[in-house]
Chains A and B, each alone.
Chain A
């Protein structure tokens, strides 16, 4: 059943696959994001409570939700590499960590920029913002651990273990931060998750989320190719690649 997948365990095949997929992802993500952002900024109706400032959610929500999904994808890759000893899964996880960190940073900055007009301060210790901040720390830890090893293969395995430890901890951290938040502030009004959003507001958001997914895919492919090259520097196919690209 999974036989068709086996050739892709070979670095060369995966590299070629990534190269063929990359243009599709890039073009699709750029067009989707352009449509989504123009729609969000220029055409979506205004929110009667928050005014135009609500347009920030069109970046904030995709970045925040997908920052978590990227971590889950990394954890899946780490698990795959542990269970099946698939080195390429480590390369994929390593490729995704900086993307996750950037998404978390975007979610934090846009959260703060949205909080200033709404709450009156740049930062509140809101449960979501706090757990997003902790998620950023987890990402930074994984990246730092990855950079600390000279040997890429060892780095991938060590970072994989840390990722899995983190994935066990994330629900606990999330739960504890939420509990801590209600303890100290009473129920905060989370204005970011409006239960009922009108369709003409929701549609551009969905388009943007799709655009972000495609963009994450494209950047992952770019970084995945780098990781594969770095791990296979001595292979003949990399030599051919160099001969072809750097004359």
Chain B
């Protein structure tokens, strides 16, 4: 007789499956990253190459680009699973939805958040970010991008059953990203001025903890509505 899967096994199976699927279609991993790079290079072209201006707006540009590329990559989080029916199977399975949702969001973050964090120092170089702000930038991205994946997943779960969900998704999600944007850029600016920024990081961490605990429930409820 089959042993029922433990929570940990469920979690790792879903996670590995999502990673494997993404590795097979490499575009899924690289397109958001390329988008991130292109958006950031557009800003100096649009604003002008003066170093001072770029230095001042670099934190904002990097974070807005991160928001947009997260948004762009979100749609595929549940889309394929929804259209081939495996999402419904997940909802029907005896394992708690919380864990599976969690694994999927983590997979999304590994595939889109981590590449952005890795590419950010290079792009910050292009934008001539203050040298002492690099640590703050990496820290805010490391704490902030998981929040983007978690909150974004709520929006995707709500819109997955809708035909043209793309624009709608951005309308639903971007306003909810505002606190992360504000505190993250605030931290980077504080670091650039040589001020302490641990307070900002603490707030972002608090937002992350809040999102970690509450978002999976919202995602689960939204998925149940969408697959109805």
Contact = CB atoms under 8 A, between A and B. Distances in A.
A158 B225 contact: yes
Contacts of B168: 144-145, 148
Contact of B159 (A82, A137, A145): A145
A157 B221 CA distance: 9
B158 A137 contact: no
A159 to B, nearest CB: 9
A134 B158 CA distance: 20
A165 B159 contact: no
A172 B179 contact: yes
A164 interface: yes
B174 A173 contact: no
Contact of A176 (B183, B222, B225): B183
Contact of A134 (B165, B175, B218, B221): B175
A8 interface: no
> For chain B, what secondary structure do more than half of its interface residues adopt (helix, strand, loop), or is it mixed?
helix
Contact of B176 (A140, A145, A154, A166): A166
A145 B70 CA distance: 20
Interface in A118-160: 134, 137-138, 140-141, 144-145, 148-149, 154, 157-158
A161 interface: yes
Contacts of A175: 179
A148 B159 CA distance: 9
A140 B21 CA distance: 35
Given A172-B207, A177-B182, A165 B175 contact: no
B154 A165 contact: yes
Contacts of A176: 178-179, 182-183
A154 B159 CA distance: 12
Interface in B177-201: 178-179, 182-183, 186
Contact of A161 (B171, B221, B228): B221
A179 interface: yes
Interface range for B: 20 to 34
Contacts of A232: none
Nearest to B224: A157
A168 interface: yes
Contacts of A161: 154, 158, 218, 221-222, 225
Interface of B: 151, 154, 158-159, 162, 164-165, 168, 171-172, 174-176, 178-179, 182-183, 186, 207, 210, 214, 218, 221-222, 225-226, 228
25 contacts: A134-B175, A138-B175, A140-B171, A141-B175, A144-B168, A144-B171, A144-B172, A145-B158, A145-B172, A148-B164, A154-B225, A154-B228, A158-B226, A165-B151, A165-B176, A168-B210, A168-B214, A172-B207, A173-B176, A175-B179, A176-B183, A177-B178, A179-B183, A179-B186, A180-B186
Interface of A: 82, 134, 137-138, 140-141, 144-145, 148-149, 154, 157-158, 161-162, 164-166, 168-169, 172-173, 175-177, 179-180, 183
